Every structure is written in structure tokens, then in C-alpha cells.
Amino acid sequence: MRAASFQVALTGLKDGHTAEEVAPRLARLFTQPPERMLSILDGQRRIVKQGISETDALRYQAALLGAGCTCSITTWTARSKRDIVAATTSALAAVAARADQHRARQFERVQSDLASGQRLFIDAIILHGIYLILARHLTLLPGLLLWLPVLAIMSYSLFRLTDGLGTAPRQRALLTATLLVPAAGLVTLAALCFKASTSSKDM
């Protein structure tokens, strides 16, 4: 008598886990790109392994649970090789399509952040010029109050630019510190705008 075969299906995420944190774990588990793993964490049932022994199925189940997923084990009946190839090809095509959509959305968001950051930088330059003209006629406290909107726009401009460029949090904190020095802040934003323009051309 032939031993029973099993299949393991990914059914969703465990409570308290997000697709963004689980995808890298699955990528290491299946040696696949994280964005491809992110595309299969959409809440639909996905078969990840079939035609395996119960021992192997339990091992896969433990690994998936440890990664933050929910899964199920069911018995599996072998189909023809043609059916298996067709199903596999269809599943891979769907995964690739979702990965392409995810990359396209990421690209659009990056472009939006860079363009918004550059526009805000221009606004910051104009407001900074107005501030320099008015600051000569103001005492310390009104001058500081006038500087706050300039600083706010410069800060938001830096946030959008660094987010679009994928800057690390530590570097972002150091760049933010330069905004406290007016001239240094403008130089920092100008450098980021130049980098953003170069990055946009390369994409």
C-alpha cells in the first residue's frame, strides 16, 4: 500500500504580525526575493509544498508558524505531470504579476516623494529669503517665531526627499540636525535635491 502524501498551504498571518515583517522571514526560508514573498501574503490560501511525507509537512508547518504565518496540512493526491506543470506555471505567473505591481507602486511612491521634496525645497528658499529681509527689523522672539514655518517646510522637504531616496534613519537624524543652522540646512536640502534628480534619471 502506498504511503499517504501531504500538502502544506499558507493560509494567512498570525495575529500581531504584518506582511512586511513576515516577508523577509519567508524569503530566507524559501530563498526567494522578499517582494515575491510579500506578494503571496495577501490572505489567500497558497500551497507551498505538496507530495511530501507527514514528517516533512509538520516540519514545514513549524517553520511557517515560526515565521508568523498560519497554515494547514491536508492529504494530497498526485495529479498528472501536465496538470502539475500547468498549476505551477499559473501560480508563478500570478506571483510575478503581483511582484511587478508592488514594484510599480513603490516606484510611483518614490517618484512622488522626490518631486514633492524638491517643490518644498523651492518654497523653503523663497520663505528663507523673506525671513532674512524681515528678520532685520524684528527682535529675537518675533524673529524666532517667523523662523518656525521656514523650519517646518524645510523639515518636511527633508523628510520627503530622504524617504524617496531610502536614507537610513541614523543619516536622516544627522541631516535633520543641519536644519537648525539656516545656511547649512539649505545646503543639505540642495544636495539632496541634486541627488534626487540624479536618482530619478537613473530609474
Q: Are residues 40 and 127 in the same domain?
A: no
- The pLDDT value recorded for residue 65 is 92
Blockwise average pLDDT, block size 10, the chain, 203 residues? 75 89 89 86 86 90 91 77 66 78 80 79 78 75 78 82 81 77 73 75 57
- The pLDDT value recorded for residue 85 is 66
Here the CATH number for the domain that contains residue 12 is 3.30.1390.10
- The pLDDT value recorded for residue 156 is 82
- The pLDDT value recorded for residue 68 is 92
Domain membership flag for residue 100: no
Residues 134/188, Cβ–Cβ less than 8 Å: no
Residues 156/120, Cβ–Cβ less than 8 Å: yes
C-alpha distances out from residue 133 to 129, 130, 136, 143, 187, Å: 6, 5, 6, 11, 19
Q: Report the domain count for the chain.
A: 2
Chosen domain end from 60, 78, 96:
78
- The pLDDT value recorded for residue 90 is 75
Domain membership flag for residue 90: no
Domain membership flag for residue 94: no
Q: Are residues 115 and 48 in the same domain?
A: no
Q: Domain span at residue 63?
A: 5-78
* The three grid cell numbers given for residue 21, joined into one nine-digit string: 515583517
Q: Output phi, psi for 47, to 5 deg.
A: -80, 125
Q: Identify the three-state secondary structure at position 76.
A: strand
Domain membership flag for residue 127: yes
Q: Are residues 174 and 117 in the same domain?
A: yes
Q: Please tell me the distance from the alpha carbon of residue 102 to that of residue 167, in angstroms, as a whole number.
A: 20
